[in-house]
């Protein structure tokens, strides 16, 4: 895998919105945080445009992202927010120059589209907190600090408390994945990921529980769960019950889907749509260790 250069004080970082729309006030706090790290911040030309639920038209969002990808002065790109829309522009992007001069792309949720595309190009990226902070909520500094530490190469591991449903064991493999619904939407496309021998991370938000079951069954039947090295389940936020009576909890659904396999499974990793969203190096070879006393992720 190609690893972009880690950041240094004085570097320029860009903010663009490949998916949902936002207001300027929603990124003011994060810009202050990024500048406190010694970074300069540039924002996309069309960042605050609005077209339906999107941050401008498909072409405008693609142009903003493309310009930042091709700008040799920008060392990392933090996506402003998720929502929906990245899949509408992925085919409009040209990665030719980016491959020769890669930089960190940061985001989660809908930005899983970009993580998957970069994985196919064998370029590392960062699953982590984005720029949008909606008032009156305060930024979670644990999440921002974990992103800073990863961007500046100051973190190599996470140590967590074990979760009761976790399956014990050790595994080593390339970290892939992201938002489960987005991964499901990429099935059969050129951006679908090969999970064989890898450690798969998944998280999701605001889905019906039976939708989680449907997506896990898709991954199982398609073989994506069979030959994993390990599985990490992050936050499953604001899951909804339906009138059908399907009541299984998300972690129970995931545990059942992988119950016949022999690899370790780590539940409760703090990444996704909750307050604490630890930054993860996607495309990096990592080790996961789960036992009755601790859960570790090391790279």
Residues recognised as catalytic: 109, 203, 273
The answer to whether the bond into 136 is cis (omega within 30° of 0) is: yes
Q: Are 6 and 151 a contacting pair, CB within 8 Å? A: yes
Phi, psi of 261 (to 5 degrees): -95, 165
CA–CA distance from 235 to each of 29, 31, 93, 205, 266 (Å)? 24, 26, 30, 8, 12
Q: Give the residues across from 237 on adjacent strands.
A: 205
Count of residues making up the chain: 299
Residue spans of beta strands (DSSP E) within the chain: 12-16, 40-43, 74-79, 104-107, 125-127, 157-160, 169-179, 199-205, 230-237, 265-267, 280-282, 285-290, 295-298
């Amino acid at each position: 895998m190609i690893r972009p250069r880690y950041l240094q004080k004085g570097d320029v970082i860009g903010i663009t919105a490949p998916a949902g729309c936002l207001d300027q006030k929603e990124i003011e706090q994060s810009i202050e945080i990024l500048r406190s790290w010694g970074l300069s911040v540039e924002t996309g030309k069309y960042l605050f445009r609005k077209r339906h639920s999107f941050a401008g038209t498909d072409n405008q969002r693609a142009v903003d992202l493309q310009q930042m990808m091709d700008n040799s002065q920008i060392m990392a790109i933090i996506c402003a927010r998720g929502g929906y829309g990245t899949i509408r522009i992925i085919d409009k992007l040209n990665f030719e120059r980016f491959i020769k001069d890669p930089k960190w792309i940061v985001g989660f949720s809908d930005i899983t589209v970009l993580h998957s595309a970069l994985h196919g190009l064998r370029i590392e990226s960062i699953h982590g907190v984005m720029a949008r902070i909606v008032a009156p909520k305060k930024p979670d500094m644990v999440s921002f600090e974990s992103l800073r530490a990863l961007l500046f190469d100051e973190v190599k591991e996470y140590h967590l408390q074990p979760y009761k449903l976790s399956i014990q064991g050790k595994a080593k493999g390339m970290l892939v994945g992201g938002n489960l619904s987005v991964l499901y939407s990429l099935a059969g496309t050129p951006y679908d990921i090969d999970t064989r021998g890898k450690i798969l991370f998944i998280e999701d938000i605001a889905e019906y529980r039976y939708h989680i079951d449907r997506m896990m069954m898709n991954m199982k039947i398609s073989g994506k769960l069979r030959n994993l090295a390990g599985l990490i389940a992050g936050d499953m936020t604001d899951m909804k019950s339906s009138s059908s009576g399907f009541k299984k909890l998300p972690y129970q659904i995931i545990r059942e889907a992988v119950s016949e396999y022999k690899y370790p499974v780590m539940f409760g990793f703090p990444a996704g749509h909750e307050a604490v969203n630890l930054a993860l190096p996607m495309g990096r070879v990592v080790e996961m260790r789960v036992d009755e006393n601790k859960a570790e992720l090391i790279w």
